[in-house]
Structure 1
Amino acid sequence: MFNAMSRAEIWLQDSLDQPLSIEDLARQLGYSASQVRRQFRQCFNMSPRAYREQRRLERAAVLLSLTQQNIAHIAAQCGYVNHSSFSRAFQRRYQLSPRHYRQALNDRHHLKPPLTSFTTTIKQGGPRQAVYMRIYKAAHAISGLGNRKRHTNHLPCLEAQLGGSIPAVALPDLLADKVSALDSTTKPYKLRTDIGLHIENQASTDSVALPVEYRRIDIPSQHYAVTLFDDFSELSDALTATLCQLHYHQSLYHVSGGAPHVLWRKGRLELKVPLQRLT
């Protein structure tokens, strides 16, 4: 049942901006809505509705912190039908209105460049696919990251069909943690890491039958802030340097709120932060 509820959690994550119901989720899983509510609460200690609200507000806090987008636009991106309902929900969670939350962060100069120097470039990536398994741990607590055998756990028989792939992780909570967008209440399964393979060529893996733990992700063509670094222990500093570059020196793009990825390329690691073009 946990695999089903993990799929439910991922479905909620991927539909934050859509007005979909728990009944829609239940149909996706092949369960009744009451079964989904009961089993989800057993796995995550909260209802699906509360979980989605939490993730929506965390994304809103990230966008308020790291972009200058209009607050009404942020509300729509996070699935709120109007500004007032968003403001009420945000104030309940963070004890500040969205405007005052943004102002408080600006007053604290929350982005300070790290001591280590990194180079960040803006690149456009073409459409790709990735194959990931979700683990409910912080990335630094997972042993063997970057080791191909660790990333292809349960996949060795499929490696020939997943040619042109490299070890990768997606980190859906990385931005929220960086801007301290989460409140001080400890939530079970707060930190999530997707571990697997990034398919470098444009060949489709749609015909590859994946083990139940894995899911296939279609990554659209989009721009990224790309920063190279040497060791996974430098990830936090590499991300800070990337965000500082975007905040202080980049006038065309801002973070989209999507999960950053780390790819283990030959000799170096590559941090990719998804971007949106300023409008």
Structure 2
Amino acid sequence: MFNEMMRAEIWLQDTLQGQSTIEDLAQHLGYSASQTRRRFRQCFGISPSAYRDRLRLEKATRLLVHTPLGIKEIAAQCGYRNHSSFSRAFQRNFMLTPRAYRQNHQLEIRRSAACIEKKLQLEIRHIPMATVLVARRYEEINNLPPPEDWKQLTEGQLLANRLNGSIPMVLLSETVFSREMPRTDVGVMISGMDPRALALPPALRLVDLPSQRCACVKIESLAELSPTIGKVFGEALPAKSEFYNGEPLRILQQATGLELQFPLLAQHG
């Protein structure tokens, strides 16, 4: 049952911007709406509707804190019908208006970054589109498995020789201000084969990453992850007049350590 409800959780995440209903989710899973609500609550402790509301507010906090987007645009990207309904839901949950939340937490990020004694070499690169094979895990940053285990999470369910040349990586949905529902996708970036030819077990899925600009920084180990994220958000990106776009961070295993990639907001003009 958990794999099915994990599919439900991922579907809720992937359809935030639209106006899909729980009945649509039930049809996607092949259950009745009442079965879907009951089983989802058994796995996650809350209803699918409440979980989706949390996901929308979580996404809103990332966009408020890390981008210059207006409140109306953020409301639309998070699936709210209008600015007013978003502001009411946000203030009911955080006891602050979206504008006040943005101001308070941007200041907090800058102050925290100033206290981190770490030098970064940040590089802006265009990252080509890619397909990754991942397993969803529900754990905080500090509990990520070691990089040498990332590939094994998929090899344990598929023949290892089918994944030759693949790059171990993590898609990190959790950031500094979204720790209420930590989620990570751990697996590999597929290369040298058609990933659609794989017969995937229920616990694995393919994710297509778009071609986009990313801010890239190298770290030696996962122990550097949290302070590096804080330093990039608070100092390195503002220094380059760049903005994180709120999509999952990417962590790639490389021969000399790890590379952390921050997807960037598209530049206009």
On whether the aligned pair clears a TM of 0.5, the verdict is: yes
Contact 2:151/2:187 (<8 A) preserved? no
Tell me the residue number matched to 1:168: 169
**Distance in 1, Cα, partners of 2:86 & 2:188:** 36
TM-score, with structure 1 as normaliser: 0.88
Tell me the residue number matched to 1:57: 57
1:267 equivalenced with 2:269 (yes/no): no
Counterparts of residues 35-50 of structure 1 (less than 5 Å): 35-50=35-50
- Judged with a 3 Å threshold, the aligned counterparts in structure 2 of structure 1 residues 206 and 244 are, in CA distance, closer, same or farther, namely same
Q: Which segment is superposed worse, 98-107 or 81-90? A: 98-107
Tell me the residue number matched to 1:129: 131
Report deviation, 1:27. 1.3
**Distance in 2, Cα, partners of 1:229 & 1:205:** 29
Report deviation, 1:110. 4.5
Report deviation, 1:247. 4.1
Tell me the residue number matched to 2:225: 235
**Distance in 2, Cα, partners of 1:37 & 1:160:** 40
CA offsets 1:23-68 (integer angstroms, 9 cap, x no match): 1111111111111111001111111111011011011111111111
Q: Which segment is superposed worse, 145-154 or 204-213? A: 145-154
Q: Which secondary structure state, in structure 2, belongs to the residue aligned with residue 255 of structure 1?
A: coil
TM-score, with structure 2 as normaliser: 0.91
Tell me the residue number matched to 1:20: 20
**Distance in 2, Cα, partners of 1:193 & 1:88:** 29
CA offsets 1:51-104 (integer angstroms, 9 cap, x no match): 011011011111111111111111111111110000000001100010111122
Structure 1 unmatched runs, 5+: none
**Distance in 2, Cα, partners of 1:235 & 1:102:** 23
Report deviation, 1:20. 1.0
1:226 equivalenced with 2:216 (yes/no): yes
Counterparts of residues 49-198 of structure 1 (less than 5 Å): 49-108=49-108, 109-113=110-114, 114-147=116-149, 150-157=152-159, 159-173=160-174, 175=175, 178=176, 180-181=177-178, 190-198=181-189
**Distance in 1, Cα, partners of 2:191 & 2:235:** 26
Structure 2 unmatched runs, 5+: none
**Distance in 1, Cα, partners of 2:77 & 2:111:** 23
**Distance in 2, Cα, partners of 1:262 & 1:26:** 33
Contact 2:136/2:185 (<8 A) preserved? yes
**Distance in 1, Cα, partners of 2:18 & 2:39:** 23
Query: What percentage of aligned pairs have identical amino acids?
Result: 40
- Judged with a 3 Å threshold, the aligned counterparts in structure 2 of structure 1 residues 43 and 229 are, in CA distance, closer, same or farther, namely same
- Judged with a 3 Å threshold, the aligned counterparts in structure 2 of structure 1 residues 77 and 148 are, in CA distance, closer, same or farther, namely closer
- Judged with a 3 Å threshold, the aligned counterparts in structure 2 of structure 1 residues 55 and 237 are, in CA distance, closer, same or farther, namely same
Report deviation, 1:275. 1.5
**Distance in 2, Cα, partners of 1:92 & 1:148:** 39
CA offsets 1:212-236 (integer angstroms, 9 cap, x no match): 2100111111111111110111001
Contact 1:59/1:78 (<8 A) preserved? yes
Q: Which secondary structure state, in structure 2, belongs to the residue aligned with residue 155 of structure 1?
A: coil
